[in-house]
Amino acid sequence: MTEAPLSITLDRNSPVPLYFQVAQELERRIQGGAMPAGTRLENEVVLAGRLGLSRPTMRRAIEYLVDRGLLVRKRGVGTQVVQPRVRRPVELSSLYDDLVQAGQRPRTEVLRLAVERPPHTVAAALEVSPDTEVYVLERLRYAGDDPLALLHNYLPLDLVRLSEDALTGDGLYNLMRAAGITMKIASQSISARGATAAEARMLGENRGAPLLTMDRTAYDDVGRVVEIGSHVYRASRYAFELTLTG
């Protein structure tokens, strides 16, 4: 898929650097669907000449979008638009909610729904005795048609009634809210590692491909532990965002 000749209006009197003006406009078009995945850009020399920019300025704009995961350079193909990453704010929300908000059409495959005794470490985190049965969930979450994340969760049995149909059709946090649970606060850690063979197979990645990991313990408004989550995400399709203030 080849992009029509690129036309961007630049404000040369603006304090915003020209490369960033170009990058912002291209990002807007990619995120908005005007430049779908697979669209090829003309080469840097042609683009720079068309926009009246130097080649280094044009290259910097493209490199910015490559770093953002919106463009990729392929030998023999050139610069091409890729499927944008799902960018998730680090806050007390669910992946399902964030995908809906981003227009990514979430879909869930329930791999496992069981009631059993948890490992001792999980029982301690849930603040229940080791012989207490809890829900054990394993789900594969899609964004559109692309597998995005493997989700493992443990929940107390007395908080919400879960079924495979309910988990296929809705997000876990939505089901918990519908049961009257008010999510209040969570302790969360984010890291990264390589994909195991099983994870790679389910997520459509190569073995050892980078995965983002997120471990969360969530509490309700009366201080009960209501969920333990251990999730892995494809780093090629997913990113966490943080807003820092000083």
| C-beta of residue 88 within 8 angstroms of C-beta of residue 233 | no
Per-residue confidence band for 237, with pLDDT thresholds at 50, 70 and 90:
confident
Of the candidates 82, 84, 88, which has an alpha carbon nearest to the alpha carbon of residue 101?
88
> pLDDT for 180-197, tens place per residue?
998 888 888 889 999 999
Could you give the strand order of the β-sheet that contains 225-234, starting from the edge strand earlier in sequence? 106-116, 134-143, 146-156, 225-234, 210-220, 183-194
| pLDDT for residue 90 | 47
Region 77-86 average pLDDT = 75
Instruction: For the chain, list the domains and their CATH numbers.
Output: 18-81 (1.10.10.10), 86-241 (3.40.1410.10)
All residues at 6 or more sequence positions from 201 whose CB lies less than 8 Å from its CB, including other chains? none
- Residues, the chain: 246
Report the C-alpha gap between 215 and 57 in whole angstroms. Answer: 41
Answering whether pTM is above 0.85, one says: no
The three-state secondary structure class of 50 is helix
- For residue 185, the surrounding DSSP H or E stretch is strand 183-194
- Tell me what percent of the residues of the chain surpass a pLDDT of 90: 48
